[in-house]
Amino acid sequence: MTEATVERLRLFLIESPIKMARLQGVGNVKGTVKRVLIELTSSDGVVGWGEAAPWEVFTGTPEAAFAALDIYLRPIVLGKPVRRIRALMAELDRALVGHAEAKVAIEMALLDIVGKSSGLSVADLLGGRVRDTIPLSFSIADPDFAADLERMRRMVPDGNVIYKVKTGVKPHREDLDHLEAIRKEFGDTVDLRVDYNQALAPFGAIKILRDVEEFAPTFIEQPVPRKFLDVMAQLTAALETPVLADESCFDRRDMMEVVRREAADAVSIKLMKAGGLFEAQAIMAIADIAGLPGYGGTLWEGGIGLAAGTQLIAATPGISLGCEFYMPHHVLTEDVLEERVANRGGHVVVPDGPGLGIRVSETSVRANARVLAEA
């Protein structure tokens, strides 16, 4: 039997309008977000989709990811056996430094093909499900806090109880007022978290965070810049509230260092940081050994990338703190899927079809595409 190979690769640089501005601590977002979609077709006619969603202040630019895929990785991918994913990913790492988002897009497209060919979901390919739904976290990041509070009034009755407040962008007193307003209106019925996105300087951070602890957050995410890992360790030791590492942990080497220095109590697992679903599971395996739970973080992915994220979390026991996969339902004005990944009762429902379990709308892709490359 002839082994199927990658026969065609198409790329789309798309730009999608968003419903609200986002204040993130570093790199605010307004108007639109860009990302790269990849479509692979195997020699036996099976199509797989992947998504690269860099953020210029976090990992890189969509334009750079597009160029990496089109110029440097395309010649390596074409003609390769679709089932030999680990071997191909190792080859991509040898051929090109960085560009984790471009590489994970290829990996998820290959897994989509293999899953469709075998009738298995990506979660099955990753070891099988440990969960069918994932608690959804919505980020409070609108410059207009009153608008976010009104969203909460609509969402909480529907079962959406996890909210992560982006802090450190506005004055500290204003952050405290917002946390107080949330607790005053919703009390302990909501699971409140805070995320500084590296916004605090090391000097004085402990005093600010002790003020925040008064509102009983579940965790405090990345309070200081990633390079200050010793400060992260000091804060982790000093605070009652767990500290979660995001920008301080991109790969296995980072995870080992976080564990060695006891620089966090939990970790954000993002496919765009890790560069692969297999790599994300490897990072989480190290965290498991140290007893650090994982949280499903995102950058600005749409439905394809987030479908891959749900499949990863479904098959990875340690990612137990929920996910922030709210973009397609709550922020994007239009996604590229024929049917969005379901949200129900404050949870993301993991697609149960083969591969990623999604259907991509060619019409929507082309309507949002700014650049197209195919061969």
Just list the catalytic residues: 166, 324
Burial degree of 86 (CB within 10 A; 0-12, 13-18, 19+): exposed
Nearest to 313 by CA among 371, 365, 269, 369: 269
Q: How far is CA 227 from CA 112, 205, 326, 351, in A?
A: 36, 15, 29, 37
* Phi and psi, residue 180, nearest 5°: -65, -40
Burial degree of 5 (CB within 10 A; 0-12, 13-18, 19+): middle
Nearest to 266 by CA among 312, 222, 224: 222
Burial degree of 6 (CB within 10 A; 0-12, 13-18, 19+): buried
81: tokens are 């056996």
108: tokens are 């998820």
Residues 6 or more apart whose CB falls under 8 angstroms from that of 259 comprise 286, 287, 289, 290, 292
